[in-house]
Structure 1
Amino acid sequence: MNCDVVAFAPLRCSEVCRLCVFIQGYLTVTIEPLPPVVVGETVTLKCNFKTDGRLREIVWYRVTDGGTIKQKIFTYDAMFNTNYSHMEDYRRREDLVYQSTVRLPEVRISDNGPYECHVGIYDRATREKVVLASGNVFLTVMSPPNNISVVAENTPAPFSRYQAQNFTLVCTAKGGKPAPSVYFKRDGELIEVISYTPASTSEQGGGSAGVRGARPLISRDLDDTKLQRSLSLLDPEGRAARLYTESPSRVHTQGQQAHEPSPATEVIPETVVSREFPRWVHSTDPLYYFSHTHLPQSDGSVVVQARLTWTLNPQLDNDALFSCEVKHPALSMPMQTEVTLAAPKGPKLFMSPTRAKVGDTVRITVQGFQVGSPGNEVFPEPLFTWTRVGGRLLDGSAEREGKELILERVPAELNGSMYRCTAQNPLGSTDTHTRLIVFGMYALLQQHSMAPFWSGYYTRS
């Protein structure tokens, strides 16, 4: 806004853009409009005025609450030729450049808004009254997003071989002002999406990942023949048959030291779950549905959440690279974060203590995976389930979820027990086994006068 404001003694000028001349003196105030600035930059507020009178003072105001509150930020007193700041935090952030010009270094989002420059001169007729005129300018402060992230909605979740399921990526961009634009790419290519309006939590049945109003993504019904063929791969307990992909012997290259098994565990090859899928899996490109929400923050920034939903195809989507890109006028180039969809492969299990004794508390922990790129081994987050082969866990439960299985005060009877860790996410499932070896059984049996009978067995085990 470019505004010339003229004042006449003894009346106060209204803030209307006009130019007039009066024999008793005149005063005009002009402020050039400011382009948008980025947080951290330096802004110069320049108040241009013309007058044939004697200057009394120049005062800068910051206008808040829709114009109801005007806060002084800087004053120049021409009578005493002094200037001072009115900042409440006593941190002088303004510098006087030349009487009416103020510089704001390292602007913040909170500096966004209208500013007014008030100029006062002495009335030439009376020399007692002050003639006032003012101009205003709006300072627009932009802030680029300071954080973007991608997560999978409703995870960890189990793997399903016989039922098509929707999968949703959520990209969140924080700290942007104004709101940035967010879009997705797959393997570096922009994804063509179908926009939709997200349903409320109640309409989604308590926060499910369904898409309201979306066309069915399943093209044909489950084939019974395929179902029976896949079911034939399951053992009597309903788990996948054990298919060993490596021999128990350790193989390593020359110069590379082989990893010796822990004395408390027995190395069990990974069980590969057959990844046979029925015919509901699409052979053509999937339909991607896109939605986004804006969440205004108290500091003036906006949190943008963008969702990309499609029917997951574990055969085609495994190892697919998805990226979320954010464009903003304060950025010279888009911000980007990416994830690679990957099924879990071979969890690495660690048992503590390494030499478990009767009565010890044993912890079996997942410490990563055998296969996976550093920093992004498995996405989305796997669901870990622990079971004991051929029996229940020590606390009597059939299974336990989490990255760690705790066995408190292990009894001698658990020696040789096999424990299964199932790691699964919507892209696939895999089992890894470890055997618990309990030491100190011979000394325990001696206390019960059973050592002669068990000594031969204990030596051979």
Structure 2
Amino acid sequence: MDQCRGTLVLILCLFYSGADGLNISLEHPWNASLIFETGATASIACSYTLDTTEYPLSLEWYRVPKWKADVVPEKLYRFSFISDREYKFAEFDTRPGVIILNDRDANRNTLSISSLRATDDGDYTCTLTLDSSSSETSSPAVIVVNVTPQLQEPQASILSESTYRLNCTASGGRPAPSITWYRDGVSLNVSSNNSNVVTSQTDGLFTVESMIDVTETTDVTYTCSMNHVTLTTATNMSINPRAAAEPTVSPEPEPEPEPEGVVNVTLAATTTPDYSLANFTSGAQGPQDHGVSRIYILLLPWTIVAILTFIAI
């Protein structure tokens, strides 16, 4: 009898705790694929059913970012239901543009994120906890945010007299973009012998760098074409290797330092000065009789006047 009573108590505890009475699921009626571009709006509805109306009852939203190395769920929002109509709301993520609609009559909680960013990419789940003793977590709804990469202007460098290396980079995209080369409008079948493609990832965004080596003796146009899932047409940029490439100029060797205690003196030859009357008039001076020559020149007019006066008398 005691053993039976214990079993009944256990069943009642399970019933009131809601261990078998929680059912939770995620819905996404507006976009079944959950693949978006930046700037769009994503909505996810968390629906649940309860076999009991015990309180407190809480519903929490979580996200596992795809672009982070760790997979620790981030708590975003929490609804704590105190009664059938009363609840408290806690916000752990202060990102603007988020609207949460709670429909208690329909047992549905909808998370709407507008102006999607690259960092909104991730797995979203909602967890329903009843009386802090039992909980149920939904399967994840995966939100993929595609980001359009930016194509940079191609660069060219000289490897030898007529061989050039062309470089084209597309950065900041999700998923990784693809790059195709064209020569005067004709697609190139680039082989691994003369090309190199490097793909790197930072914060979930991809950068693709394509390098090819070409040999040209005339002016031709090479086009770097970028394709991506967010683009309806390819993005193109062109380059003329012969016109754009900058030759590598070897730096001039620096002069060797002079030994200490040595003084360099530079001598410059000058012409012998002309000590004619014209030079004296303009201010030139002789080597020794500078002052005497000037006195003779000043007294000459007065001497002539005196001689003429004497003759007249």
Asked if these proteins are the same fold (TM beyond 0.5), I'd say yes
Distance 2:88 2:72 in 1: 25
Structure 1 167/385 Cα, relative in aligned 2: closer, same or farther at 3 Å? Answer: closer
- Residue 144 (structure 1) aligned with residue 144 (structure 2): no
After superposition, the CA RMSD in angstroms is: 3.6
Question: In structure 2, what residue type is equivalent to 1:78?
Answer: F
Q: Is the 8 A contact 1:327 1:333 kept in 2?
A: yes
In the alignment, which residue of structure 2 is the partner of 1:373? none
Aligned to 2:293: none
1:179, 1:326 → 2: CA distance?
A: 10
Q: Residue 176 of structure 1 aligns with which residue?
A: 173
Deviation at 1:143, TM superposition (A): 1.2
**Percentage of identical aligned residues:** 19
Change (3 A) 1:111 1:81: same
Q: Which amino acid aligns with 2:209?
A: Q
Q: Is the 8 A contact 1:173 1:304 kept in 2?
A: yes
* Superposition deviation, residue 74 in structure 1: 1.0
The answer for the alignment partner of 2:58 in structure 1 is 57
What is aligned with 2:277?
none
Name 2:17's counterpart in structure 1: 10
Aligned-partner residue type, residue 152 of structure 2: I
Please identify which structure carries the higher helix content.
Answer: 2
- 8 Å contact 1:85–1:94 — kept in the other structure? no
Match of 2:45 in 1: 46
The offset of 1:328, in angstroms, is 0.8
Gaps of 5+ in 2: 1-13, 104-108, 257-266, 275-313
State how far apart, in whole Å, the 1-side matches of 2:244 and 2:70 are: 50
Alpha-carbon separation, structure 2, partners of 1:41 and 1:305:
28
Q: Structure 1 residues 131, 168: closer, same or farther in 2, change over 3 A?
A: same
Shift of 1:131: 4.6
Indicate if the aligned counterparts of 1:61 and 1:70 stay in contact, CA closer than 8 A: yes
Letter in 2 for 1:293: V
Change (3 A) 1:81 1:173: same
Cα distance in 2, alignment partners of residues 85 and 339 from structure 1: 51
The equivalent position to 1:330 in structure 2, one of 230, 236, 245, is 230
Cα-to-partner distance string for 1:264-299 (whole Å, 9 max, x where unaligned): xxxxxxxxxxxxxxxxxxxxxxxxx444221222x1
Residue 70 of structure 1 deviates from its aligned partner by 2.1
Q: Does 1:167 align with 2:176?
A: no
Question: Are the counterparts in 1 of residues 158 and 164 from structure 2 also a CA contact under 8 Å?
Answer: no
Which residue is equivalent to 2:240?
A: 340
Give yes or no for contact 2:158–2:165 (8 Å, CA) kept in 1.
no
Counterpart-to-counterpart distance in 1, 2:76 and 2:240:
51
> Does the residue aligned with 2:152 lie in a helix, a strand or coil?
strand
Instruction: Tell me what 1:307 maps to.
Output: 211
1:378-393 alignment runs, 5 A limit? 378-383=243-248
* Cα distance in 2 for residues equivalent to 1:290 and 1:156: 15
AA partner of residue 72 (structure 1)? K
CA pair 59-67 structure 1, distance change in 2 beyond 3 A: farther
Q: Deviations over 1:202-230 (max 9, x none)?
A: xxxxxxxxx4xxxxxxxxxxxxxxxxxxx
Deviations 1:59-96 (A, max 9, x none): 10112578852221011223233323202xx4444221
Query: Matches of residues 52-451 of structure 1 in structure 2 within 5 Å?
Result: 52-54=51-53, 56-63=57-64, 69-79=72-82, 80-87=86-93, 90-98=94-102, 100-121=109-130, 131-135=134-138, 136-152=140-156, 155-156=157-158, 159=161, 166-193=163-190, 195-196=191-192, 211=193, 289-297=194-202, 299-310=203-214, 312-314=215-217, 318-342=218-242, 378-383=243-248, 448=270
Instruction: Note the alpha carbon deviations across 1:108-127, whole angstroms, 9 max, x for none.
Output: 22222211111235xxxxxx
Aligned-partner residue type, residue 82 of structure 1: K
Helix, strand or coil at the partner of 1:69: coil
* SS, match of residue 168 in structure 2: strand
Separation in 2 of the partners of 1:166 and 1:8?
79
Unaligned 5+ residue runs, structure 1?
1-6, 13-21, 122-127, 160-164, 197-210, 212-288, 343-377, 388-392, 397-412, 414-443, 453-461
Cα offset for 1:46? Answer: 1.9
* Alignment CA distance shift 1:143-1:63 (3 Å): same
- Asked if the contact 1:323–1:336 (Cα under 8 Å) also holds between the matched residues in 2, the reply is yes
Cα deviation per residue 1:133-186 (whole Å; 9 max; x = unaligned)? 22121121211112423122xx35563xxxxx6433121111111111110112
Cα distance in 2 for residues equivalent to 1:380 and 1:157: 10
Structure exhibiting the larger radius of gyration computed from Cα positions:
2
SS in 2 for 1:149: coil
SS in 2 for 1:381: coil
| Separation in structure 2 between the aligned mates of residue 26 and residue 58 of structure 1, nearest angstrom | 12
Measure the CA separation in 2 of the matches of 1:188 and 1:58: 58
- Counterpart of 2:23 (choices 14, 22, 27) is 27
Residue aligning to 2:291: none
